Amino acid sequence: MSIQPTEVRSNVRPSVRQWIRNGIEVGVFSDADDASRSAANEIATLIRQRAAEGQRCVLGLATGSTPVRVYRELIRLHREEDLSMQNVVTFNLDEYFPIQPNAAQSYVRFMNEQLFDHVDIRRENVHIPDGTVSIESVSEYCHQYESRIEQLGGIDIQLLGIGRTGHIGFNEPGSEQSSTTRLVRLSEITRVDAANDFGGIDNVPRMAITMGVGTILRSRRIRLLAFGEHKSAIVDRAVQGAISHTVPATYLHDHRNVEFLLDEPAASMLTLPETETLAR
């Protein structure tokens, strides 16, 4: 697809530069804080709009280092600017398998510590894949997770990070575009990247439950954040490469409302055209 200057969706966002490439709106921000504030503001705006209409807002959430600043900003908005999450329903992308929810590395614990313990979300509205289900029942469990998303009207905004393999959620290379929530094997690169958290690679689970690529693509909006020079090579392949199962993030080219929010280092390998700089 050719490169076109983008139409700016809002003129109050602090974006430094924006383009559309291969169907992906790329926003390069001055730093990770700016990018995260932008994502948090978009989420907060939708939560408030839905609340005013008496409707729920369904968020797809990610873990890892990347979204932490977004959660910090949502907590600030809750504390200082009256943002309520009473009408919010959340579905997390993934969880290690097997894992206990109180384990230091579990995504249940991560989400509680990074967001849920600090806002007024109803606990019954929180969904995180359960790393304790038996291997015999995991397939049925995944099917139910998928159905629950549909029953609640689908995901309004899905937050994503990106792994060095190009994974989104834990959809590693080889994942199909139509894949749904399922048990997957983690790649060695992903396990190496998690080794520090687990005190060595031998302790990193070999499997995970993840929403599928198809599940992610059914979200109405997708916002992928990537920060740091170590993400630049995979961001380059995800944005500029051809759609391929070897880099699952390239499947996002087919989505109608997807944006990558990057800092300068993560965007440093993108060969994007010189275009106007947007006013802050």
Q: Which of 13, 37, 78, 167 binds ligand F6R (CB under 6 A)?
A: 167
Q: Which of 35, 88, 93, 126 binds ligand F6R (CB under 6 A)?
A: 93
Site for ligand F6R in 9-68 (CB under 6 A): 62-66
Residue 172 bears catalytic tag: yes
| Contact between 161 and ligand F6R per CB under 6 A | yes
Q: Which amino acid is at 83?
A: L
Which span sits near ligand F6R by CB under 6 A: 75-83, 142-150, 157-165, 264-272?
157-165
Those residues with Cβ within 8 angstroms of residue 113's Cβ, 6 or more apart along the chain or in another chain:
none
Closest to ligand F6R by CB, 63 or 87: 63
Minimum distance between the CB of residue 231 and ligand F6R, rounded to whole angstroms? 7
Closest to ligand F6R by CB, 6 or 130: 130
Task: Write the DSSP string, the chain.
Answer: ---EEPPPS-TTS--SEEEEETTEEEEEESSHHHHHHHHHHHHHHHHHHHHHTT--EEEEE--SSTTHHHHHHHHHHHHHS----TTEEEEESEEEES--TTSTT-HHHHHHHHTGGGS---GGGEE---TTS-TTTHHHHHHHHHHHHHHTT--SEEEE---TT--BTTB-TT--TT--SEEEEPPHHHHHHHHHHHTSGGGS-SEEEE--HHHHHTSSEEEEEE-SGGGHHHHHHHHHSPPBTTBGGGGGGG-SSEEEEEETTTTTT--PPP-PPPP-
Closest to ligand F6R by CB, 178 or 196: 196
Size of the site for ligand F6R (CB under 6 A): 14
Which span sits near ligand F6R by CB under 6 A: 161-169, 180-188, 237-245, 258-266?
161-169
Minimum distance between the CB of residue 82 and ligand F6R, rounded to whole angstroms? 28
Closest to ligand F6R by CB, 27 or 166: 166
The catalytic residue among 172, 188, 229, 264 is 172
| Contact between 94 and ligand F6R per CB under 6 A | yes
Q: Are 263 and 32 in contact (CB under 8 A)?
A: yes
| Contact between 196 and ligand F6R per CB under 6 A | no
Site for ligand F6R in 66-85 (CB under 6 A): 66
Closest to ligand F6R by CB, 116 or 170: 170
Which positions touch ligand F6R (CB under 6 A)?
62-66, 93-94, 161-163, 167-170
